[in-house]
Structure 1
Amino acid sequence: MLEQAYYNKADEIIAQHGRTQKALIPVIQDIQANYRYLPAELLSYVAKQLGINEAKAYSVATFYENFSFEAKGKYVIRVCDGTACHVRKSSLILDRLYKELGLSKEKHTTDDMMFTLETVSCLGACGLAPVLTVNDEVYPAMTPEKVSELMKELRGEKA
């Protein structure tokens, strides 16, 4: 059960976009931007407020890969594994991150909710490969050593 503050925030977002069916995507985008995920209970609430069948709202939210029903960490790290990045050893970057963060292909978010690690097919920065992003900030030409330095920085271990 979500706290009332979640519903209040959803009401604010709905008020900004209007109570129409066409507002569904912008509303759930803003909710996800606010919480770094889309709480399922809130999606049901939004559907009701917009006069949309709950199944339709879920079909929209599950169709787009960008929406997540799982809580994400403060820092969302996306490692590109597209062709250019893969050829330039993005797998070594991913391996280092798994090791540094204690994560795996099955476990994507650290217990302290600081980091979420995802792989993506392409970040659109092939000339900068291998690439990763942290909360949509691009880090080009990554190496395992650069990953370790970045993790120290994000943890506040480096001035």
Structure 2
Amino acid sequence: MEDKNSIREKYLEFENFLNLVGTDREQLIITLRKAQNLFGYIPRDIQSLISKKLRIPIVEIYGVITFYSYFITEPEGKYPIHLCMGTACYINKSESLLKEIKNFLNIDIGQVTEDGIFSLSIVRCFGACALAPVANINGKIYSKLTPESLIEILKKYREGRAEA
């Protein structure tokens, strides 16, 4: 958990960034990327701050955030799991992987495990269709997954034995 000074410093850094951007609506994506990189996600209060500064309705900002899978609105776990549910992965049984993850970690899409180790989200495509089904865990792509291989990978992460 971050201390209050660290959080305050991030807010100050972001406000300074917004002052440099000014009111240029064309800077929305860059501004959202800065927020995501700084906070790890884009909190509601930051969305509101961006809305006021760039004079863009918050609903429009939220629409951009939810359109791009890169942006998230909730904190992720230490090891975020992004499971592909695109056509190739779906045909190759990514739905069974999703069921297995949910059961093994006792979380649903958009949730973080109680210990804060894992979070789960789905994406529509990684562009690795020939390797389906695919998941991105902690920034690493895992391919041709089976429910069994996926659980073994998650166990390694939980035990701190996963490859970086």
TM range (shorter): 0.7 to 0.9
User: Does structure 1 retain, via aligned residues, the 8 Å contact 2:69–2:123?
Assistant: no
Query: Aligned match of 2:46 in 34, 42, 47?
Result: 42
Alignment partners' CA distance in 2, 1:116 and 1:56: 26
Contact 1:78 1:134 in 2 (8 A): yes
The answer to whether structure 1 residue 138 and structure 2 residue 152 are counterparts is: no
Whole-angstrom CA distance in 1 between matches of 2:126 and 2:14: 30
Say what the alpha-carbon RMSD is for the aligned residues: 2.6
* Identity over aligned pairs, percent: 33
Measured in 2, the distance between the counterparts of 1:120 and 1:63 equals: 11
Letter in 1 for 2:107: L
Give, in whole Å, the separation in 1 of the partners of 2:105 and 2:75.
Answer: 17
Distance of 1:53 and 1:87 partners within structure 2:
39
Unaligned runs of 5+ in 2: none
* Equivalent residue runs for 1:48-67 within 5 Å: 48-54=52-58, 56-67=60-71
- Alignment partners' CA distance in 2, 1:116 and 1:67: 14
Task: Write the distance in 2 (CA, Å) between the matches of 1:157 and 1:61.
Answer: 32
**SS at 2:159's partner residue?**
coil
Q: For 2:128 and 2:28, how far apart are their aligned partners in 1?
A: 30
Q: 1:40 to 1:89 in 2, by over 3 A?
A: same
TM-score, structure 1 as length reference: 0.79
Tell me how far apart the structure 2 counterparts of residues 79 and 36 of structure 1 sit (CA, whole Å).
19
Normalised by the length of structure 2, the TM-score is 0.77
Deviation at residue 97 of structure 1 after TM alignment: 1.0
Offset, 1:129? 0.7
1:26 equivalent to 2:24? Answer no
**Secondary structure in 2 aligned to 1:155?**
helix
Partner in structure 2 of residue 152 of structure 1: 155
SS where residue 78 of structure 1 aligns? strand
In the alignment of these two chains, the number of paired residues is: 156
CA distance in 2 between counterparts of 1:62 and 1:21 reads 18
For residues 97 and 23 of structure 1, what CA distance do their matches in structure 2 show? 37
CA drift at 1:102: 0.8
